[in-house]
Structure 1
Amino acid sequence: MIRNILYLFAISLLLSCKTDSPSETVVYNNNFESNDLTHISGGVIEQYNGSKVLGRYNKGSFKLALDGLPKHALVEVSFDLFIHDSWDGNKTGDSGRNGPDIWKFVIDGSEFINTTFSNSDCGTSTFCDPQSYPANYPNNNNNPKTGAFNKNLPGVCLNANQIGGTAQYKISKTINHSNSSIVIECLDELVQTNTADPKCDESWSVDNLKVKVIAL
């Protein structure tokens, strides 16, 4: 009798674990190689480092709007973020001519990243323009390219022949979300008033954009 009770308890426990395990569904996945901008507003595609990317942007943004999502409790958004050329991070000491260089990640109108990036070359100096990432702006000062996945990519314009002119970051956010639709936005507030071609001075792009819904 006791053996049968234990057996039934074990079966019940296994079924319970199976029921409670999360179920993941990829609802959007784009590497932009086919020039597909479906569901994206403000989208542009350019070549960078032998691949197509969403961007480049300077004082610009894009929105990805998805609807008809399956039932879920969480959403995971992930992508590669490329920070090109002469980003100045938290810099504010030159009468606002070169910074701060702010980048934002927004879901359904709520900011989940509000940060700065710096590609400053410290060289042999004891000071270089700090960035906020991987924390938020303005109360954090980290070394340039802190948290970067790859610090040694070529620049695009002014630093096109310079290894280290671009830094690549792996961005991933998982949030509580259960609505049947979602709007994902990336945008910047870049400052460079002392150049005739701001986009050539600093810009950003995105690749391998993936959205996953997770049912618990």
Structure 2
Amino acid sequence: MWADGLGGHLPAGSAPLTREFFDRPGPEVAPDLLGRVISHGPVSVRLTEVEAYGMPGEDPASHTYRGRTPRNAVMFGPPGHLYVYFTYGMHFCANLVCLPEGVGSGVLLRAGEVVAGAEVALARRTAGAGRTVTARDLARGPARLAVALGFTREHDGLDVCPPGPVGVLEGDPPKPGAIMSGPRTGVSSGQETPWRFWIAADPTVSPYRPHVPRRR
């Protein structure tokens, strides 16, 4: 069921981002992704919150910290590719790969506003659950964003430059003064690194939750 609406924020720029855009360090790419629009089929999401992850040996919170594995191989590929992984045995999350091939860095897509294909995104979010989902919550959080866009393991490694099934468009970036930064959400290592970026006062930004160790 559709519980409320926020009013569509249509992208101002429809030109796709180039590979050079992603061929930079994750902490530099991440704030520049805010306001950009990622599209997959009928669904498009304007990004309002992202998190950067660093290179092997540099960032203990990154999947690439201990080097290349079959799971994170896409992160070591060329920039501008989609890295999709399964977490907690329940959810897919999506990242955009940064820096040249062989390095291993990326940006997690944490939250956004659905600006096209809301009906499709809503159907995906409510499939088999029968629950109410608000417009604000359609892509509010990395797992919800991946579901809204229809990302699964088969999309791991897709090239978004130039756009094919998945593309990232120029969109409508916020003014620099509207970009906020702070510690990353829910990571057990490197949690104080201020590499989470979001658009100030945007209702689709997810709530900050520090890591809580699991009790045995």
* TM band (smaller chain): under 0.3
- Bigger radius of gyration among the two: 1
* TM-score normalised by the chain length of structure 1: 0.27
Question: Which of the two has greater helix per residue?
Answer: 2
Larger RCO (CA within 8 A; separation ≥ 6): 1
